[in-house]
A and B are shown apart, each in its own frame.
Chain A
Amino acid sequence: MKALAHSNLISIRDLSAEEIDLIFTTADNFKEVINRPIKKVPSLRDTTIANLFFESSTRTRLSFELAEKRLSADVVNFSASGSSVSKGETLIDTVRNILAMKVDMVVMRHPDAGACQFLARHVSCPIVNAGDGAHEHPTQALLDAFSIREKMGSVQGKRVAIFGDILHSRVALSNIFCLKALGAEVMLCGPATLMPRGIEELGVGVTHQVREALAWCDVANVLRIQLERQQTRYFPSLREYTQAFGINRKLLDEIKKEIVIMHPGPINRGVELSSDVADSGRSIILQQVENGVAIRMAVLYLLATRPQLIE
């Protein structure tokens, strides 16, 4: 396995375990690169990448931009606010216009699930999904699994519990696909109102008891409560959510083993995760962020250098 089969990264489901492994071994090399005094390599100096963010993002966008710059690619950024999108231009027109300016690759975040899939049918350049609605966020899942592999040696056979708002979370869905593909066991834990019906069919366990999930797992991936998506009341109050589903030092001390704490950020401190846990030695939250750049470099590099691109 030396190349990716698809020219886009839209869903983790498009990747085989071997392809994920290829991305990981490539990311190992890029992680070494970004820890050098000169943190960049000239690989993609002939490539122009457009970051199209139709939905706000700080970390993912910065991470992609740094990854692109450390590969020496030329980067253009686009955000929906203050652009022609607010004048009523369609998605395809927007992207075709950008591609007409000789852009080679597109990284896109969009509030609608399936936007990247739709775009891939109409334009020919490689597309990387940086999050589409509540559907998928493949690079986040890859960097999460990469961080587990780095911390624990491998992902195979590990027990990973995902806590919080599963219903609105593209991170949860991509994580499930990625972890299952790599042979991990997955359990979801959250309020029944934030648990999609029928999610068990993906081969994951479901519980509503935090203690049960913590006692079971090796790794706890705690998702953010998306306050912006809570117009409908899924739980009575944040305080009540924290009492029932928040993870704190006391809960972790009750179980008699060390578990690894992850969070895709941004953290609501004191809501889903208490500060003493987020800042403890068990937490690999900042390693996740560092690995994010390496993983995105690997994905962009592998897509840009696929042999099929040779004309």
Chain B
Amino acid sequence: MAEKTLNGAQVMIECLKREGVDTIFGYPGGNVIPIFDAILDSDIKLILTRHEQGATHAADGYARVTGKTGVVLVTSGPGATNTLTGIYTAYMDSIPMVVFTGQTISPNLGTDAFQESDISGMSFPVVKHSYLVKNTNDLPRIIKEAFYIAHSGRQGPVLIDLPKDISSGPCTAPLDAEMDLPGYKVPDKAAQEQVEQTAATIKKAKKPLILAGHGAVMSGASRAVKELAEKLGSPVSSTLLGLGVFPANHELSLGMTGMHGTVAANKAIRECDLLISIGSRFDDRITARLSEFAKTCDVVHIDIDPAEYGKIIRPKHFLCGDAKIILEQLLPLVDKLDSEAWLKTVDGWKKKYPLSYPKQGSLRMQHVIHTLYEVTNGKAIVVADVGQHQMWTAQFFKCDYPGQLLNSGGAGTMGFGFPAAIGATLGNKTGFPVCAILGDGGFQMTLCELSTARTNNLPLKIFVMDNNFLGMVRQWQDLFYDKRYSGVLLENNPDFVKLAKAYDIEAFCINRNADAKRIIEKAMEINDRPVLIHCICEQEDAVFPMIPPGASIDDILTERPKTILEKPTGGT
């Protein structure tokens, strides 16, 4: 008897298995029923989130901890449009993800059919690539291409829109299809001549600085970064997403640079004579006032994306390729630099401007984060949401391992943290506990995922930093808008402990500095289900250091100024 012909949905599942997919984050609807049906006959684990946005952030968190491509499956129309924020978040941080969206049947395309949305068209600006499948026999090729594109070069999200007649129609094409991507080039190593020229520039430096970004994390270059720093005798600062690629406790570490970075890291970037950027794209939160950024130093820019060349600054050397490979090319060609005096200066800044927070008075988020760091001995995966608590997490949870701190860097998506932590918990193989550090604002954007966490008995620690404010916006209104608070007071926050209990989730409350350690220790002992820790925090605290947006690095604030500052000229 002839083998039974598979339908599009079954072929899709077969192809996913070949790509090594073991988990799909999704939410069903009319136009993906054939695919949800096919999943039942496979070993792939389906994580049903409570909202499609949550599915994308969870897949994102899963991708960040596993290094694999996150997979999302949702229905057409609103199901598909709900994924856009998550896709955009992944795009901004170069996270590999493949999103399958259902679609109305092909003959209905363009007719405003029920739950039809041109999701492929809507996705263009926020995906690395997208497909609208018009022929079931194209599926094996498209899926193979999608996973290859998502996970190679500068990684990113790919969307596949699947009309229902495609997923339910017969597929006769072989599963091991050939890719057809004549326009897609993946850079790996740099030309040797360029590397030699770069090494010659590096040799002349007396005040070197390495800036480690997300690209270094994604290429697994942390050992090479450390080797380079130690070999040269160069201090290392990190972008927000680069934290952990170089151990925070290393004597050469300056911590995070940029708007809420350390004074030492920012001063060093201002005064160095050589800046080696490894996988950073010079975001405006890093550069501060661009006209004054990196004006007195030679810049070596290592990036896998050729389109980053000259986008923000014009480097002396641009080495296009995988960070780890390029560092391995560079390492044998460089030697220890004459940087003793510089290291002394930088160390002086570190000692003079340490990160600190007031230990007295009401509970501080910084204290909770610092205590969590101590209780876990720094061995935790921390997923932050977006806002003040995020910056304090970056400052006070000293990451020694790449991929230890996850957050939405480029997009700054509030609501990211909690579902991303769910995905991270599902993918986590490190043995470290996963802790979500969330604001009361961001948590309330995606808290429906408490059900997902509970249903899957995820050993996730959910810290809700509750100050009844959208703290970061409040801080800006305080500093730059004459304390005219508009739309930042979160009145009638729920009792988060009762809320957790409504979902059958264990919960504790911390409202004094003195209780933090005891309660965090208690929460860390629960490892077979989620636990929520409601932290009732100081309402009007502010994150420092701070370089006002668009200001010069020299204008860095280390405490709240007595006078009202001018309204910022930069973006955010």
- Our verdict on whether A and B bind, yes or no, reads no
